[in-house]
Amino acid sequence: MPRRKCSKKREQVARASKCIVVPIELEQYKTVVTDPARFRECLDEMVATYPELFPAQIAAGYMLPDRRGSIKLAEIELRRIKLQADASPVYTIAPSGVMPYMTGYTDEVEKALFLRRFGVPFWGLAYVFGRDDQYWYRLCAHFGRYDIVQTTVKAPEVLPVHLLADEKHGVSTVRKGTSPRPWAPTVCSAHRSRWEPMATA
């Protein structure tokens, strides 16, 4: 077996997220997204209030090239912005009331995800809240994806140096013949570790 190529050089493990989630009510977002002038005015207020959510190049200005609909959530349109800086990417502006990847509304899935913390199986969530068990499984699995963390932490240099957020895979044989791997977020502070493993199905 060939040896793995290891290096101490720090590299980016995934592409940077091109989605910017802003704290705005859904109804307000639906009202301003179709009007470029009102959307720009609202977004400028967001940039002034929450600068950590946006790339630094936005201070040089931005354009509103288009808006796109969603197949999963037909009633939601997302506006995109293009920074004035050279070779800058196009960012999608999404409201905070929508789950990542347009998988649902936060108000509709919040109670189901809360029950999941106490070990309610996916088929139980499907029985109470509808859809199917695979939908709830994928929704929980999304929390381990790279860009969800990145959309929240835009300025890692301002975080306390004694805090660390990480995820580990733990193998658990809860049922005979199965080996689920639950996510186990870890917070380390002053040489202490706190494990909060998610419940297994």
What confidence tens digit (pLDDT) does each residue in 111-151 have? 998 998 888 999 999 999 988 888 998 888 877 565 544 44
pLDDT of 46 over the 70 cut: yes
Would 108 be classed as within a structural domain? Answer: no
| 86: confidence class by pLDDT, cuts 50, 70, 90 | low
| Structural domain count, the chain | 2
Contacts of 200 (CB under 8 A, 6+ apart): 119, 172, 174, 180, 182
Q: Which helix (H) or strand (E) holds 180?
A: none
Q: Is position 166 within any domain? A: yes
pTM above 0.85, yes or no: no
Last residue of some domain: 95, 112, 132?
Answer: 95
Domain span holding position 173: 160-201
The answer as to whether 193 is a domain residue is yes
Q: What is the mean pLDDT of residues 12-29?
A: 80
190 inside domain: yes
Looking at residue 74, its pLDDT comes to 83
- Report if residue 188 sits inside a domain: yes
Domain end: 44, 75, 95, which one?
95
Residue 145 in domain: no
Q: Which of 80, 95, 110 is the last residue of a domain?
A: 95
Q: How far apart (Å, rounded) are the C-alpha atoms in residues 39 and 36?
A: 5
Query: Residue 2 falls within a domain, yes or no?
Result: no
Task: Tell me, yes or no, whether 105 lies in a domain.
Answer: no
